[in-house]
Structure 1
Amino acid sequence: MLKAIIIDDEQLAIDTLKWELETNCKEVEVLFSTNKPTEAIQAISKVRPDVLFLDIEMPELDGFQLLNQLEFRNFDLIFTTAYDNYAIQAFKMNAIDYLLKPIEKEELIKAVHKVVLNKQNKTLGENLKSYIKHNLEILDTNNAKIALPMEKKIVLVDQKEILYCESDGSYTQVFMDSGIKHVISKNLKQLSLQLDEKHFIRIHQSFIVNINSIKEYYRGDGGEVILLNGKNIPVSRSKKNELLKHILK
C-alpha cells in the first residue's frame, strides 16, 4: 500500500482526488490532506509518504516553496495543477508526473502506476528521474528538446525527431519521424519561437520543416520539397531564397 498526502488550497480538489484514488487506485491510501500548505511540512516529516500530490499555486506557500522547506524528500512527487506553464520547473524538482486539472482518471492511474514501478525497482526510478532531469537541462541550454502543450498533458520530444509542423488555426500539428502526430495548443508562430532556427525553417505560411528531413526540392515559382516520409510541401515564393540558402550552404 502506498502512503499518500494531498496538498491543495481548494478543498473540493482534495475531496475529488481522494474519491478518484479510492475508486480507481486501490493501492493508494491517503493518510493526510490539507488545504493549508503551512500545515503540511510537519505532516510530511511525520507520515513520510510514498507519494505526494501537490498543487502549485497556493496562498502562503506555493508548491515549489513548500518543497524547498522540506527535510524529508524520499517520496515520489505528482503535481496537480490547473496551469501548464510550470511543467519544466516541476520536472526539475524530480516530479514523476504533472497532472492538469480536471484530472482524467486514465492519467491518474498512469501516474500512480509510475509510483508503483518506482517502489518495486528503486534503481529504475532513480534512472528515470536522472534521465528526465538531464534532458530538461539540455532543453534549457541548447533547445535539443521541446515541450509540446496539449489539452491534458505536456509531451517532451527531441527536436531532431520532428519532420514538419503544419498550421491548424490557433493549433499546430507536429509530425514526428515515428509517424506520430501531436496537436498542440500553440499556433505556428508561437511554436517557431521555440524551435532551433539552425534546423527549422518556415517555408510557407502554413508549414515549418526540419531542414534535415528534406529529401528533394523541386524548383518552380516557389517550388516544393519532398520529405523523407514522402510528404510534399509547397514553398512560398517569398521563402524560396531563404530555403535555398539553407540547403545549398
Structure 2
Amino acid sequence: MSYVPDQPISILIVDDEKEACKNLRNLITDYVTIPVQIAGIAHTTAEAATLIAAESPDAVFLDINMPGDNVFEFLEQLSPLTFEIVFVTAYDEYAVKAFRLNAVDYLLKPIDIRELINAVQKLAEKLHFKKGAISGMIPPPTFLAPGRNGKIQQITLKDNNCIEVVDLKNVIYIAANGSYSNVFFIRGDQVKEVIMSYSIADYEELLPPSLFYRIHKSYLVNCMHVKQIIRKDNLAVNIHDKFQLPIGRRRYTGLMTFLQHNNFQDV
C-alpha cells in the first residue's frame, strides 16, 4: 500500500521555460493522487531562492538545463538543503551528479506520467521518513524499533510486497546506490539484500552511532561484523567473512579510533 501524507506536500517548480512549468503543474494536478500544493513557480535560480525563503517548500522540482544558471552551484549556495529535490531535464547526462546530491528522483522530459507519480510517491515516503526521525518515531517503510532498554534494536525493511523485520545486530552493511541504498543483512544462515529508496546519509543519521560507522562515502558498516582491517596499498575491511569493502583514506584514522572507543575487538 502506498503511503498518503496527512498534509499536502508543498512543491516549488523551477524551470526557465514557462510552458514547461505549466505542463508539469498540470500533470501533477491531473494525475497525482497524493495531496500536493504548488507553492510557486520560478524561472531563474534567483526567483527560486526568494520563493524558497518565503515558502519553505517540502520539495523543489528543478530543471537542470537553465541558460545563465548553474543549478548545482545554486544548490551548493543553499546548503544544507531544507528541501528535497526532484530533477527534471531533457538530458540524462547529469544523472550521476544529481543522485550524488541525494535527489529523490530524476525525471526526463517529456515527462512520463507513471514516472512522475512514482517520484511523488517516493517523495512522500521520504518526507514521512524524515518527519518520523525528527520526532523520534520512525514510521514504515523504515521503522527503527526500541527494545526494553529504550535503545533501537530492530529495523523494518520494505521491499515491494515483502517486509523484513531485522535485528540491528544482523544488519551487515549499507551501500550507497544513487539516492537509494542496498541493505545487506543476515536472515537465518543466509545473507539477503534489500534495495531501499533512502540515501546512505539518511541511514547514517538514524542508525545508532555507537554501532555503525561510515568507512567510505559509499559504505556504512555494522562494526560488530568487522573481521579484519587490511592495511596494504588499498585500505579495506573484511566484514562478515564474505565482503571486502574499501576504506576512505581520510576515514581510516577515525575508524580505528571508533573501534577502540566503542570496545570492538582489535582488528
Question: Normalized against structure 1, the TM-score is what?
Answer: 0.50
SS of residue in 2 equivalent to 1:9: coil
Q: Provide runs of 4+ in structure 1 moved above 4 Å.
A: 123-127, 131-134
Shift of 1:132: 9.7
CA offset at residue 25 of structure 1? 1.8
Q: What do residues 129-167 of structure 1 show as CA deviations (whole Å, max 9, x unaligned)?
A: 217999x955xxxxxxxxxxxxxxxxxxxxxxxxxxxxx
Aligned to 1:49: 57
In structure 1, the partner of 2:102 is 94
Distance 1:65 1:13 in 2: 22
Question: Which one has a bigger Cα radius of gyration?
Answer: 1
Alignment identity in percent?
Answer: 35
Who is 1:210 aligned against? none
The match for 2:85 among 64, 73, 77 is 77
Deviation at 1:34, TM superposition (A): 1.5
3-state SS in 2 of match to 1:98 = strand
Structure 1 position 14 matched with structure 2 position 21: yes
Q: How big is the alpha-carbon RMSD for the aligned residues of Structure 1 and Structure 2? A: 2.8
| Residue equivalent to 2:76 | 68
Whole-Å separation in 1 of the counterparts to 2:48 and 2:80? 12
What's the secondary structure of 1:52's corresponding residue?
Answer: strand
Amino acid at match of 2:16: D
What runs of 5+ residues in structure 1 fail to find an aligned partner? 139-249
Which has more strand, going by share of residues?
2
Unpaired segments of 5 or more residues in structure 2?
A: 1-7, 134-141, 143-178, 182-197, 204-213, 219-267
Moved more, 106-115 or 124-133: 124-133
Aligned mates of 1:131, 1:37 — CA distance in 2:
26
CA contact (8 A) 1:37 1:60 kept: no
CA distance in 1, matches of 2:31, 2:70: 28
Q: Which has the higher helix share?
A: 1
Q: C-alpha distance in 2, partners of 1:94/1:82? A: 20
SS at match of 2:92: coil
Note the alpha carbon deviations across 1:16-70, whole angstroms, 9 max, x for none: 0000011112411111101122211121122111111000111232221221121
Could you tell me how far apart the structure 1 residues matched to 2:81 and 2:56 are?
8
- CA–CA separation in structure 1 for the residues paired with 2:41 and 2:59: 12
d(CA) in 2 for partners of 1:34, 1:2: 18
Distance in 1 (CA, whole Å) between partners of 2:80 and 2:201 is: 22
Q: How does 1:27-38 map to 2 (within 5 A)?
A: 27-38=35-46
Distance 1:67 1:131 in 2: 17
C-alpha deviation, 1:103, in angstroms: 0.6
> Is the counterpart of residue 130 in structure 1 residue 130 in structure 2?
no
TM-score (norm 2): 0.47
